[in-house]
Amino acid sequence: VRDGQEDFFLIDGELSLFVVADGMGGHRGGATASHLAVDTLQRLARAQVEESPLTSAWFAQAVQQANDEVVAQATADATLKGMGTTLCALAVVQGDGYEALGVVNVGDSRLYIYKDGELDQITEDHSLVATLERQGRLTRAEAAVHPQRNIVTRALGIDAKVMVDSWEIAPVVGDRYLLCSDGLFNEIDDARIAATLRRLADPNDAARELVRLANEAGGRDNITCVIVDVVEDAGKVAAAGGNRILSTVHGADRVLAELRESGEIPVVSVDDDSADETAKVRRRSRFTWRVALFVVVFLAIVAAAIGTIIYTGTSSYYVGFEGDTVAIYQGKPGGVLWIDPELTERTQISRDDVPANVLGDVEAGKELGSLDEARQYVANLEDQIAAQQPRPTPSPGPGASSPSTSSTDTTATTATTAPAQL
Binding window for Mg ion (CB under 5 A); candidates: 92-100, 123-131, 213-221, 273-281: 213-221
CB of 43 to Mg ion, least distance (A): 24
Residue closer to Mg ion by CB (options 55, 109) is 109
Q: Which residues contact 16 (CB under 8 A, 6 or more apart)?
A: 91, 92
Q: What is the smallest separation between the CB atom of 211 and Mg ion, expressed in angstroms?
A: 13
CB neighbours (10 Å) of residue 238? 9
* Residue nearer to Mg ion on the CB measure, 34 or 56: 34
- Residue 43 exposure: Cα atoms within 13 Å on the Cβ side: 9
Least Å from the CB of residue 186 to Mg ion: 8
Minimum distance of Mg ion from residue 274's CB (angstroms): 42
The residues, any chain, with a CB within 8 Å of residue 259's CB and separated by 6 or more, are 265, 289
Residue 390: count of CB within 10 angstroms of its CB: 6
Contacts of 99 (CB under 8 A, 6+ apart): 92, 93, 171, 233, 234, 236
The SS3 of residue 99 is strand
Tell me: does residue 125 bind Mg ion (CB under 5 A): no
By CB atoms closer than 10 A (0-12, 13-18, 19+), residue 264 is: exposed
How many Å apart are CA 370 and CA 368, to the nearest integer?
6
To Mg ion, the closest distance from the beta carbon of 5 in angstroms equals 11
Give the nearer residue to Mg ion in terms of CB position, either 183 or 365: 183
Q: Is residue 187 part of the contact set for Mg ion (CB under 5 A)?
A: no
One-letter amino acid for residue 10 of the chain: L
Size of the site for Mg ion (CB under 5 A): 5
Between residues 26 and 355, which has the closer beta carbon with respect to Mg ion? 26
Name which of 175 and 221 has its Cβ closer to Mg ion: 221
69 lies in the binding site for Mg ion (CB under 5 A): no
Stretch that binds Mg ion, among 25-33, 178-186, 190-198, 302-310 (CB under 5 A): 178-186
Q: Are 148 and 106 in contact (CB under 8 A)?
A: no
Of the pair 64, 181, the CB lying nearest Mg ion is at 181
Q: Is 221 or 383 the residue whose CB approaches Mg ion more closely?
A: 221
Nearest Cα to Cα of residue 206 among 246, 169, 243, 178: 178
Which residue among 133, 165, 175, 221 contacts Mg ion (CB under 5 A)? 221
Q: Which stretch binds Mg ion (CB under 5 A): 179-187, 227-235, 358-366, 387-395?
A: 179-187
DSSP per position, 161-180? S---EEEEE---TT-EEEEE
Identify whether the C-beta of residue 374 lies closer than 8 Å to the C-beta of residue 318. Answer: yes
182 binds Mg ion (CB under 5 A): yes
Please state, in angstroms and rounded to a whole number, the distance separating the CA atoms of residues 192 and 71.
Answer: 37
What is the nearest approach in angstroms of Mg ion to the Cβ of residue 403?
A: 58
Smallest gap from Cβ 181 to Mg ion, in A, equals: 5
Give me the least distance between CB of 150 and Mg ion, in Å please.
7
Find the shortest distance in angstroms from Cβ 78 to Mg ion.
Answer: 24
Cα–Cα distances in Å, from 303 out to 44, 306, 335?
Answer: 45, 5, 20
Toward Mg ion, which CB reaches closer, 55 or 186? 186
Whichever of 18 and 329 has its CB closer to Mg ion, that residue is: 18
SS3 of residue 342 by DSSP: strand
In the complex, least distance from residue 10 CB atom to Mg ion, rounded to whole angstroms: 17
Tell me whether residue 104 or residue 152 sits nearer to Mg ion (CB atom): 152
The torsion angle over the Cα atoms of residues 270, 273, 279 and 281, rounded to 10 degrees, is 130
Ramachandran sector of residue 166 (left: φ over 0; alpha: ψ -120 to 50; beta: rest): beta
Which 310-329 residues touch Mg ion, going by CB under 5 A?
Answer: none
Residue 22 touches Mg ion, criterion: CB under 5 A: yes
Residue 100 contacts residue 87 (beta carbons within 8 Å): no
Cβ at position 22, least distance to Mg ion in Å: 4
Write out the residues near Mg ion by the rule CB under 5 A. Answer: 22, 181-183, 221
